[in-house]
Amino acid sequence: MSRLSNTTVLLGKELRTEFRSRELLTTSAVFILVVLIMFSFAINPTAEESRAFGPGLLWLAILFAASLMLQPCFLREQTNDTLSSLRLAVSDPFAIFLAKLIANTCFLLLTELLMLPLFAVFYNIPVLPQFPLLLLILFLGSLGVSTAGTALSAISAQARMRELLLPLLLLPILTPILVVSAIVTVKLLDRDPVVEWKGIGFLAVFDVVFLTALWLFGEYLLEE
């Protein structure tokens, strides 16, 4: 159970660091807001169009925000080589990844919840009636984004042009999340809501596949 306690301790560190500075949360929230507004300037949708396109645009904004928010994930550990001290201290390197991906999922989810009221207002889509299921979809989608994103952040931190590289690695990999989350959200928030359980299940499968892949290969990403 050492890995579990390591994960908890590291998660505490990640959360404490972020809530002290709130850099990631504020920049991601503002970014999503700006993107949502820009979209409506560019597209100028009718009410029906808003309902049809809004959720897709929200997910697109979430993905872009995530690829920015995930940049510092492993870069921060390079400043004072704290990645080495973590590697020396923990019994299982997967604990490092687990803590970071849980933290990233929390940050992403928090940002999305902050943006949800604004999204509802700008796109005229009531979100409260279906809130529990919407939360589930946001959670599963964000978990997938964070899992893949944390892994790829560890990779891009070791390459040049990392700010440009991470989105280029991450966005194609996250295509399934974008496709499914968008459609499931559209159907959920429709005038006659439909719950697409197959889609929700698919998101869960994505999460499991990438969590497993990260568990199997994560330690190699931290090797020197």
Partner 1 sequence: MSKRILLGTVAVLLVIASAYANFYIAPLERTMGALQKIFYFHAASAWAGMDAFFVCFICNLLYVWKRKPSYDWVAVSAAEVGLAFTTVVLITGPIWAKPAWGIYWTWDARLTSTFVLWLLYVSYLLLRSLIEEPDRRALLSSIFGIFAYLDVPLVYGSIRWWRTQHPQPVIMGGPGSGLEPTMAKVFFFSVLAMHVLMIFLIRERYLLEQTSSEVELLQREAEAT
Partner 2 sequence: MPPTALRFDQIDKRYGGLYALRKVSLEITAGECVALAGRNGSGKTTLLRIASRLVRPSAGTLWFPDAAAPSAVRPGYVAHSTMVYDELTAEENLVLFARLQNVDQPTARAEALLHELSLFDRRHSLVRTFSRGMRQRIAIARALLHRPSILLLDEPATGLDPFGFAWLSRTVCELSASGCTIVMSLHGESEISALATRAVRLDAGKIVADTKSGESLHSILTFGGD
Which residues are near partner 1 by CB under 8 A? Answer: 148, 151-152, 155-156, 158-161, 165, 168-169, 172-173, 175-176, 179-180, 183, 198-199, 202, 205-206, 209-210, 213, 217, 220-221, 223
Convert residues 124-163 into a mask of x (bound to partner 2 by CB under 8 A) and - (unbound): ----------------------------------------
Alpha-carbon radius of gyration of the chain: 18
Place of tokens 């890995």: 3
- Of 1 and 42, the one with the shorter C-beta distance to partner 2 is 1
Distance CA 207, CA 205 (A): 5
179 binds, among partner 2, partner 1, none (CB under 5 to 8 A by kind): partner 1
Convert residues 53-92 into a mask of x (bound to partner 2 by CB under 8 A) and - (unbound): --------------------------xxxx-xxxxxxxx-
The answer to whether 15 and 100 are in contact (CB under 8 A) is: no
- Of 31 and 206, the one with the shorter C-beta distance to partner 1 is 206
DSSP state of 193: -
- Of 45 and 72, the one with the shorter C-beta distance to partner 2 is 72
Distance CA 16, CA 193 (A): 39
3-state SS of 88-104 is HHCCCCHHHHHHHHHHH
209 binds, among partner 2, partner 1, none (CB under 5 to 8 A by kind): partner 1
Q: What are phi and psi of 178, to 5 degrees?
A: -60, -50
Other CB atoms within 10 A of residue 156 CB: 26
3 binds, among partner 2, partner 1, none (CB under 5 to 8 A by kind): none
